[in-house]
């Protein structure tokens, strides 16, 4: 799965997510990616999220919208991502990751799996990571 | 407002030897999207362009490089959303196109619908002039080997891939 979130010069936000799904998946199986609120969500009033991970788990908790809900309650993107991923792990034993940007331009890339490749640019500064702590 | 863009290349297992390839892939994608933003382009176009880069990069599980289903062909899903007006477009189980994210944007902009699936998505792609890309040209040797390995092991692909994107 791949994804992107962004905020532009006018303060508009967007998200995009694309995937081939699970290896050897059942014909016709559709995961979280195409489902609004699960594979991604964007609302200028809050932020934009793109997710990745175990699709069925992400769909059960509607992960992208759940993370934005936590942000609406006042959490930072990082806190909201942790809260959403922890909820998914504790409720349905699912793991995954999310990238987020909020209306102030704060961003994060968080994951409960061992790895997630990600990159970000803010203030012309490039950041890249795969493992926890990068 | 200073523009910001973030991309991911999935949370699946990354083989150490391919670590650098993944880093280069996400770097190319994020710089492509940032270039759009720096020139005053919209967030919507920036995320689409960034994802197209990764769909075209065979290391990632999307577009070219997508994994195979149990029958040995590719079915892809994609979504795009505009935070300005909550418009969104998506496709699922779509076959024989290189960039599902482009089709998702067309669903958003050219139809009254949110999601087109399977044959309907394929017909819509044709109607919009998106060229057909043969399944075989989207399949990488790596994806084919993984598919065959799973078949041989007769494993449960869902249970075995918990946590993978």
Task: Name residues whose C-beta falls within 8 Å of residue B145's C-beta, 6 or more positions apart in sequence.
Answer: none
What tokens does B76 get? 């892809």
Q: For residue B131, what pLDDT is reported?
A: 96
CB contact, 8 Å: B19 with chain A? yes
Q: Write the pLDDT tens digit of every residue in A32-49.
A: 999 999 999 999 999 999
Q: Would you place residue B163 in the very low, low, confident or very high pLDDT band (cuts 50, 70, 90)? A: very low
Q: Write the pLDDT tens digit of every residue in B68-90.
A: 999 999 999 999 999 999 999 99
Q: Is the pLDDT score of B138 beyond 60? A: yes
Q: How close A42 gets to chain B, by Cα (Å)?
A: 4
Q: CA–CA separation, A90 vs A78, rounded Å?
A: 18
- Residue in A18, A23, A94 closest to B62 by CB: A18
> Any long-range contacts for B117-126 (C-beta under 8 Å, 24+ apart)?
B117/A30, B117/A34, B117/B91, B117/B92, B117/B93, B118/A28, B118/B92, B118/B93, B118/B94, B121/B91, B121/B92, B121/B93, B121/B94, B122/B94, B122/B95, B122/B96, B122/B97, B125/B94, B125/B97
Which candidate, B100, B83, B25, places its Cα nearest to that of A5? Answer: B83
CB atoms B79 and A21 under 8 Å: no
Candidates A14, A56, A59: best to mutate against B (most CBs of B within 10 A) is A14
What tokens does B69 get? 């289903």
Task: Please report where in the chains the tokens 């195409």 appear, as a residue.
Answer: A34
């Amino acid at each position: 799965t791949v994804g992107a979130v962004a905020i532009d010069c006018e303060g508009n936000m967007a998200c995009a997510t694309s995937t081939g799904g699970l290896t050897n998946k059942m014909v016709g199986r559709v995961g979280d990616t195409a489902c609004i609120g699960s594979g991604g969500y964007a609302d200028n009033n809050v932020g934009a999220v793109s997710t990745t991970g175990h699709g069925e788990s992400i769909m059960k908790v509607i992960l992208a919208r759940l993370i934005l809900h936590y942000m609406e309650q006042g959490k930072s993107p990082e806190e909201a991502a942790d809260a959403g991923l922890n909820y998914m792990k504790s409720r349905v034993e699912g793991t995954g990751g999310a990238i987020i940007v909020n209306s102030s331009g704060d961003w994060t890339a968080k994951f409960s799996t061992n790895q997630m490749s990600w990159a970000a640019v803010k203030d012309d500064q490039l950041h890249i990571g795969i493992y926890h702590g990068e | 407002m200073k523009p910001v863009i973030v991309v991911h290349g999935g949370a699946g297992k990354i083989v150490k030897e391919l670590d650098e390839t993944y880093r280069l892939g996400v770097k190319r994608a994020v710089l492509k999207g940032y270039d759009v933003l720096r020139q005053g382009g919209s967030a919507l176009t920036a995320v689409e362009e960034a994802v197209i880069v990764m769909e075209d990069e065979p290391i990632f599980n999307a577009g070219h490089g997508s994994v195979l289903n149990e029958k040995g062909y590719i079915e892809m899903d994609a979504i795009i959303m505009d935070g300005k007006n909550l418009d969104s477009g998506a496709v699922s189980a779509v076959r024989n196109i290189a960039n599902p994210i482009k089709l998702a944007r067309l669903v958003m902009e050219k139809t009254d619908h949110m999601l087109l699936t399977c044959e309907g998505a394929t017909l819509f792609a044709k109607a919009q002039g998106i060229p057909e890309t043969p399944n075989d040209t989207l399949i990488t040797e790596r994806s084919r080997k993984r598919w065959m390995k799973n078949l041989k092991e007769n494993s449960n692909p869902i249970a075995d891939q918990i946590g993978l994107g």
